[in-house]
Every structure is written in C-alpha cells, then in structure tokens.
Amino acid sequence: MESAGILAGPMLRRVDTETVAIWVATDCPVEVDAAIYVLDTLIQLDTATKTTSIRAGHRLFIHLVQVHGQFPMETLLGYDLLFRVGKTINSLASLGLINKKEDSITYDGLPYPSFFIPASAAPTFLYASCRKFHGKGDDALVAADAILQRDTENLSARPCALFLTGDQIYADDVADPLFPVIRTVAEHYIGMEDLGQFDERLNEEPFHTALWQVNGRQFITEQFCRFTSGSASNHLLTFGEYAAMYLLSWSPVMWEGIFLPSFDELVQENGLYVYFPEDRGELEHCRIRFEEQTGQLLQAIGSLHRIRRLFANVPTYMMFDDHDLTDDWNLSADWRSAVLDSPLGKHVIANGLCAYWAFQGWGNEPQRFGEGFLQSMCSHFDGFIADSTAYRVWANRLWSFKGWQFVAPTTPAALFLDTRTMRHFEEDPKPVKVGRMYKETVQTPRLIGSSGWKVTARTLLKSRWTRGDPLIIISPTPLYGLGLIETALHSYVYPLRALGYPVHEVLDFEAWKYNGRGFTDFISQLFRWSLSRCIILSGDVHYASAVRSRLTSKREVLDIVQFTSSPSHNMSFAGIWGKLMRMAIRGNARRRKKTIYRYCDVEFSIQSGGKAIDCPKDAKWQEALRYLKMQGGTIVETENNIGMVTVGESVIRHSLLQMKRGDMREIRFEEIEATPE
C-alpha cells in the first residue's frame, strides 16, 4: 500500500461553478483538505473545504471532500488534496500519485489532476455501461482515458463529464480467481460479517463451507436469497465483499502485493466447491474456466492505472442498474416479494445498496443524503445485530429510499432515472396466445410508475433546469432498443411465461417497450416538460446504437435522439447465440434503413404501421423513427465501446470509442441536425 494509505481515488464527482466534490478512500482516519488552482498561472483560488468522512470498516475510511468557491468557466483547473495525520501533512505529489511515470494521475506533466467547467454551446460528454472486471476484450474506459490524454488542454474537444449508466460492477458474476482475493480484502479492510444471523442453515454443512469456497454460492443465492441470477456461484453477499469489488475494480493500489491464486493452489486448500467430487470432467471444466478468467483479470489489472487517472480528471456521475446489486433486481413483483420474505436476500440487497451509496451514489448529489441517512449508515458500520431496531431502520431506509435519481449540473442538465426501485408492477393480467392455446400471464412492469414520475419531476424542477430547456436523460435501459429483437422476444418468447417457463428470468424483459403504458408514461412526461431538445443516453443491452424519433401527441411534436453505448467491458455476443444475434442485427439493419412508423392504441399496445397515414385517430401518440448509421453503414456495434456525444447548437455528433491492441479507435455515426426540418 502507498505510504499515506490511499486505497482508491481521488475520484472527481459532482462539479459546478460553486462546488467541487472529490471522493477518496483511505485505510486510516485522516483529515482531508483541498485546494483548487488555475493551471495556466498556478494561482490558488479562494475556497472553503468541508470533508465528510465515514468509517466503513476496520481499515476502510471513505471521504467526500466538497470544495466551495467561485470557479471560472472555460478555464483549466487543477486540484490537490492534503491529508493530515497528526502533525504530518501529505499532498498528492508527496504520496507519489503525481509523477513522470505512467501510473501518474495527471496528464501531460501537469502538476495536478485537471478539469474544466464548460460555458460553450457545444459540450462533449462521455457515457458508458456494463463494465465487468473480467470481461472479454479491451476495457473501453481506457479509450476514454486516451481521449482526455489527447485533448487535455483543448477544452473545445475535451469531454467535460462522464456518465456511467449502470452495471459499474457485476455483483453476481464474479470471476473464480477473483473470489478468494475479494474475501481476503473484505476481511482485512472491512471485517467479518455473520451471515448466519439471517439464515441458520449457513451455520451447517455443506453450506457453512460452501459459502466461502469458489463456485459454492449458486444454490445458496437461489434457495436462501431467492435470487434468480444464473451466474451466482461467487455472488457478493457481505458489505465487505461489495466494497472489495469496488476497490479492486477501480484502484491499482489494491493489487500491490496481491496475487491471483493458481487453480492447483485452490484445490489443494479445499477452496473449490464441485458438485461431483469424483468427476474429473467437472474438475477439468473448472480449471479451463479458472485459467481463462485469470488471463482476463490480468489484462484488466494492467489497465487500472489508466482507469484511476480517468476518474481523477473528469466529473463522474453514476446510476445503478441490476448487476450493481444482482441480476434481475426487482424484475417482477414476485421477485421482489420473494427476496423481501428472505431475511438473507433482503440483507444482501441492503448491503449492495449501501455499497452503491458509499462508492457511487454519495458523490452524485451529496445534499440528497441528510444527517439521518448518514447517521444510520455510520451506526450500521459500527456493528449490527440482525434482530435489532437499529438494523431494521438501516435496512428499511435503504429498501424504501426514494432519492436515488438526481440531476447532474451539466449544460444541458442531465437527469438520471432510477428504473429499478421506482417500478410499478401491474396487477391486471395480460392475455397471450401460444399457438392455439389462450392464456393470461403477468405483465412486465412499468420501469417507472406514476408515483415514481412525480418524484422524478420534483427532482428535476428543484434543480437549476427550467421548463422548456434542453435536457439529457440517462435511462439505464434504452427507450428504443433494436425493434426486431424486442418484437421477437415480446411476441414469441415472453408468452411462454404463461405456460410456466421463467423466461423473464433467463432473458431480461425490461425494455420500456414491453409495457405500453410505461412507455407512454415516459413520453407523456417529456411532453409535460416542453423540452426544446431531448437527448437520451442509455446502456444495458450489450450493443451500441443510435435512434432518432419524431413524436406527435395531441398536435404537440417532440424530437428525441437516443444514443446507446454498451458494453464497456463485457462482450456477450459470442458462440451460437452471438451468430444468431448478428444475423438478427443484419436483418434488422436492412429493415431499419427507412423510416419506421408506430403508434400506441387505446389499449396501450404499441403497433407498427406501414405509413404515417396508417395511424388511427384515437391513437395516444404516433412516431416516425429512424436508426442512424455508423461508418460502413451498420447500425449496431457489439464490441466493447464507450460513447462520446458533442451537443452543438446546430449539430449533434455521436461516436464510439474502442481500444484495439493498445490503440484508440473512433467510430462515428452520421451527424444529426439539432433542429430537424
């Protein structure tokens, strides 16, 4: 570890002309102060610093540093952090974070990590989703670091903010070689957590041993937590494990002196859970997976110094999706009630939310978390008893919290939607037809219910945004997916649920389109805000695309541009499934070269029409949409990518950044006129 005990960070978080928030984690209690400089003159600005620190474990201290002042726009600014332990004060430079080596957190030899607040009419934003630590291919966040390195002092091109739209970690899909490391880090920095308080079966064999073995948690998470992830054999369960995953995924410091175990060492130490101990075939299968994941992890670890540098030099805003806690989180009313009825499941979700708050949510909009919230978190970190009042207050506060959504103070403003905890689960059955069989099944949820939209609207209207202004909306899952894929799943696959097949758990039926009323609620809200321009940024679906839509409702017209970037590090379209998906995509691309006309009928069913004139007069809304093409004519990219958007007065530019054998590659979409004809 570094001499000052910095475990992760510094990470630049919420930034505006009056406040700069910086997140950092240390392994000991320290007083943290900050200074802001104008970099071309090195003049220190007059500021006041307020640092809030929490002890999240035996050796884990998380600090949110808020620097207040008047910060100039269109000016390259830098910051330093000062750490006081007793009479000793260390700066970022004296701690070795600023140097002339490749692991420095600064660009181009600058004396401090840098940022700027744009005043121009054409700001550039980065956005990304789905970063699995042991994902296949190159981590696209490294491409974002390359862009900042290239344009460090070119403020007209340098991105001014990074939006992470979901699945910043994969709590359910944890690599076999990483699991023992997470356990070691969690125990050392946070401490042990007695999960037997929540389910006594964990104190008995075989569960007591399997709980701590690689590959040993699938049955536990399915039967005891009532989770539905199919990749939960190493699922994170304790707060310490969630925290360790964040630390190990973000910080190269955490890997100093830590080595991934070999498969043979794991087996010799009884660290591997196998279903058939005498079956050599299963053991060999585990070995192949283990060694493949080891290679993927080593590649990811080698890029962490660039990930840390990126986070230190661009204001970053983060919203959860499902994998930040567990796959299928709040997928359905049945899922939610089953997990709430499971003491262990309810506890794990609370742990995941608590870790999300500490590592992601806190820095988005610090004032959303009042003194009562902070006290409840700190009290829990001091120790808890499962059947105590204090514990129930903590868990219920996290499960019922209605303030995860927020507005980033960018220009245009960026509204981050919470599509996980504000869902509305329909009670009315949905009729489906499977061949000649007529059945009823449960409807897919509205990703945000009516009460959720009211809370979201209040959040937006309380910000600096004014009705009629342009708005960027971050929806973790796209409003517009690939129509061919969504239609096939909705029309031919989802009805199988009526026959008892849990297809909604195997495949994520969570697109806005799958609930016509929920889709219409989203559109209606946009019309209420009278947006002069609407840009939606999304992720989740493991492909990148761009869509332009013109919506008409009650003679009002709204133009929407949606950009989707996914995954940043989790390529999924491989093997037979990948071939089928690419075939579907090619077919979809041929169909999507022209304008598509759709409308919503009185029953909230979304219908496709051949022409605009096919829309009935009683339709709730109608639209004409078109998929935008990339260089080469395709409409979809499935390899790891991160999106970059420049919002000009007359033109909107969108491209995808990728890393290919150490080089940054940019794929551009066709430009969009900001004011359509």
Q: What is the mean pLDDT of residues 617-637?
A: 90
Q: What is the pLDDT of residues 371-413, one digit of tens each?
A: 999 999 999 999 999 999 999 999 999 999 999 999 999 999 9
Residue-wise pLDDT tens digits, 306-335:
999 999 999 999 999 999 999 999 999 999
- At 221, phi and psi to the nearest 5? -70, -35
pLDDT exceeds 70 at position 261: yes
- Over residues 236-253, the pLDDT tens digits come to 999 999 999 999 999 999
Q: What's the pLDDT band for 562 if we cut at 50, 70, 90?
A: very high
Residue 617 pLDDT level (bands cut at 50, 70, 90):
confident
| 3-class DSSP state of 110 | coil
With CA atoms as reference, report the closest residue to 419 among 480, 356, 475. 475
Asked if residues 202 and 476 have their Cβ atoms less than 8 Å apart, the reply is no
239: which 2 tokens?
């707060």
676 has pLDDT over 60 = no
Note whether 116 and 40 are within 8 A (CB). Answer: no
Instruction: For residue 425, give Cα distances in angstroms to 31, 197, 337.
Output: 46, 31, 11
pLDDT digits (tens, 9 = 90+) for 268-293: 999 999 999 889 999 999 999 999 99
Give percent above pLDDT 70 in the chain: 89
Question: For 388-437, where are the alpha helices, taking DSSP H only?
Answer: 389-400
Query: pLDDT by residue (tens digit) across 19-74?
Result: 999 999 999 999 999 999 999 999 999 999 999 999 999 999 999 999 999 999 99
Report CA Rg, the chain: 25
pLDDT for the residue numbered 514 = 83
Q: Tell me the sheet residues that pair with 563.
A: 537, 546
The candidate with the shortest Cα–Cα distance to 165, out of 504, 425, 537, 596, is 537
pLDDT band, very low/low/confident/very high, at 612 (cuts 50, 70, 90): confident
Amino acid type, 124: T
Full DSSP string of 265-299:
HHHHTT-B--SSTT-HHHHHHHHHHHHHHHHHHHH
The Cα 404–Cα 399 span in angstroms is 11
At 489, the pLDDT band (50, 70, 90 cuts) reads: very low
